[in-house]
Copies of this chain bind each other. A is one copy, B any other.
Amino acid sequence: MSKVRQILNLNAYQAGDDTSDMATRDALLRRQANFGAASVLFYRDPIEMVGAQGATMIARDGTRYLDFYNNVPSVGHTHPKVVAAVQAQIAILNTNTRYLVEIVDQYLDALKAHLPDPLSNIALTCSGSEANDLALRVARAASGGTGVIVTDTAYHGNTDLTTRVSPSALKHRQLDDWVIAIPPPGRQAYGTNISAGFAARISEAITTLQSRGHAPAALLFDSIFSSDGIFADPPGFLHLACDTMRAAGGLVIADEVQPGFARTGTNFWGFERHGILPDIVTMGKPMGNGFPMAAMATQPAHLAAFCKDVGYFNTFGGNPVAAAAGLAVLEVIAEDGLQNNAQKTGALLLNGLAEIAAKSDRVADVRGAGLFIGVDLVDPMTGVADPAFTLRLIDAMRDEAILIGAAGKYGATLKIRPPLCLTSAEAERFVTAFDRSLKRAAEG
């Protein structure tokens, strides 16, 4: 069995035969036959899921897993309010945005209430990939440039264009000459002055792009740098980076697919942590709590620049059922106080993990914001990132019925990303299990 996409999904495997259970083996072979070379599953011995509620996913064998991986069912798996909203709207009307439908504009107004004023135009899409694909083209049309700067292990989507700006998705291929990847804004690359160091690399990259004949079009970043290994601090470090790109005529695109919708606790969007105003914001995964929907928000002038040439229509994008799901998600975040809960429960996790880290030679760093936390795992002898140990830890956590994944350039950063409805008890269960698993994984 071959392990695939090592960087982005350390514990993702092509379907094979490492499973103990005959029923799972049959399901695996069936999936392999259906998906072929694109069949990639979590764990060497994959899990068949039959249900989910809140932060819990239920497997065929009855195991109730705590979901610390999935950033899609962000207000909680099968949240009754979102479920009811979809159930109601799909029985009434599901059509496209060439007709006026009240709930669609109701949703757009509600979403815009969370966005800074200049970003008043929204394009509704089906996926974050579609949103980023559009954002890059809008940035090119608005700036007149073609060059794009991303981070080393960035992931921005699965379309042709977004794959080209996703170094983590490329197995062999080199980046195009209009893309430059720079180290993410962490201490490893930039020491204590992350803001200045990151901006300096952007400045260098702009010069290189220009020397290749590519005026800069965009600085594109996930504002929590999820696939790069999660970098949230110090707040504000993106300010100088954005100024640098803008001074060169390019736009700033905040990819909020990961940090958006209250996950970082202190803010609704990741970019707000840094006090910046992006030219374009893209969003997706948690937007509909699993209902396929995503969006791009920008200033009217930027969208107009793009529409001169092509226009944008998306058949499923902005359908009333998606609007109902999205509206329910916004309401649940407010009603259930999920942003506050992300901050509170995230702090519980962060503190618990920091205590463990202080006593462990395997944990080099614990960092994050709200319910988005990264834990760097290293070889205790060398202090070097240890992906093999990370894999053992992920497997040990699975034995504790906790689902989790890894990120970062070396695949040695545990990526902690539970639903925002996580309870204190669940956070404590996680910390205890992490402590035990760390020891078990260290034993071999």
Interface residues of A (CB under 8 A from B): 4-5, 9, 12, 24, 27-28, 30-31, 33-38, 40-42, 46-52, 57, 70, 72-73, 77-78, 83, 86-87, 90-102, 105, 108-109, 112, 120-123, 126-130, 133-134, 136-137, 158-161, 163, 169-173, 284-285, 289-293, 300, 303-304, 306-317, 319, 321-322
Copies of the chain in the assembly: 2
A158 near B120 (CB under 8 angstroms)?
no
> Which residues of chain B are near A169, meaning CB under 8 Å?
310-311
Closest chain B CB from A178 CB (angstroms): 13
Q: Which residues of B contact A172 (CB under 8 A)?
A: 308-309
Please give, as numbers and ranges, the residues of chain B lying within 8 Å of A38 by CB-CB distance.
121, 123, 303, 307, 311-313
- Cβ-closest chain B residue relative to A289: B94
Contact A28 B312 (CB under 8 A): no
Minimum C-beta distance from A73 to chain B (A): 7
With contacts A161-B161, A314-B127 taken as known, whether A309 is within 8 angstroms of B42 at the C-beta atoms is: no
A405 CB to closest chain B CB, in angstroms? Answer: 9
Q: How far is the CA of A7 from the CA of B307 in the complex (A)?
A: 16
Chain B residues with Cβ under 8 A from A158's Cβ? 130, 134, 312-314
Contacts of A90 in B (CB 8 A): 78, 83, 86-87, 290-291
B residues near A109, Cβ cutoff 8 Å: 30, 34
Given contacts A90-B87, A100-B41, A316-B126, contact A108 B34 (CB under 8 A): yes
A304 to B307, CA, bound (A): 36
Give complex CA distance A338, B154 in Å: 46
Point out the residue from B93, B112, B292 that lies within 8 Å of A50, measured CB to CB.
B93
Bound-state Cα–Cα, A289 to B126, Å: 15
- Bound CA span A173–B96, Å: 26
Sample 26 A-B pairs with CB under 8 A, ordered by A number: A34-B112, A35-B122, A36-B121, A38-B312, A40-B98, A40-B311, A49-B100, A50-B92, A52-B92, A70-B95, A70-B96, A72-B94, A73-B94, A77-B95, A95-B290, A126-B316, A127-B314, A127-B316, A158-B312, A160-B161, A171-B309, A171-B311, A291-B321, A292-B292, A292-B293, A292-B322
Closest to A293 in B: B292
Chain B hits for A310, CB < 8 A:
163, 169-171, 173
CA A319 to CA B136, docked complex, whole Å? 27
| Docked-complex contact A95 and B160, CB < 8 angstroms | no
CB-contact partner of A86 in B31, B86, B159, B307, under 8 A? B86
A64 to chain B, nearest CB (A): 13
How far, in angstroms, from A321 to B123 measured CA to CA in the complex?
Answer: 24
- Extra pairs beyond A27-B100, A159-B161 (19, CB < 8 Å): A24-B100, A27-B102, A34-B105, A35-B123, A36-B120, A37-B308, A38-B307, A40-B311, A40-B313, A46-B99, A72-B96, A73-B94, A77-B93, A136-B160, A137-B160, A158-B314, A159-B159, A171-B311, A173-B309
Task: Report the Cα distance A77→B308, complex, angstroms.
Answer: 34
**Cβ-defined partner of A34 (8 Å) among B99, B121, B284:** B121
> Quick check: A315 and B128 within 8 Å, CB to CB?
yes
Asked whether A308 and B171 contact (CB < 8 A) given A48-B100, A100-B24, A130-B158, the answer is yes
Kindly list chain B residues whose C-beta atoms are within 8 Å of the C-beta of A33: 120
Closest to A298 in B: B36
| Contact partners of A121 in chain B: CB under 8 A | 34-38
Report A78 CB to chain B, min CB distance, Å: 6
- Residues of chain B contacted by A300 (CB below 8 angstroms): 36-37
Task: Name the residue of chain B whose CB is nearest to the CB of A85.
Answer: B90
CB of A298 to closest CB in B, whole Å: 8
A92 nearest CB neighbor, chain B only: B51
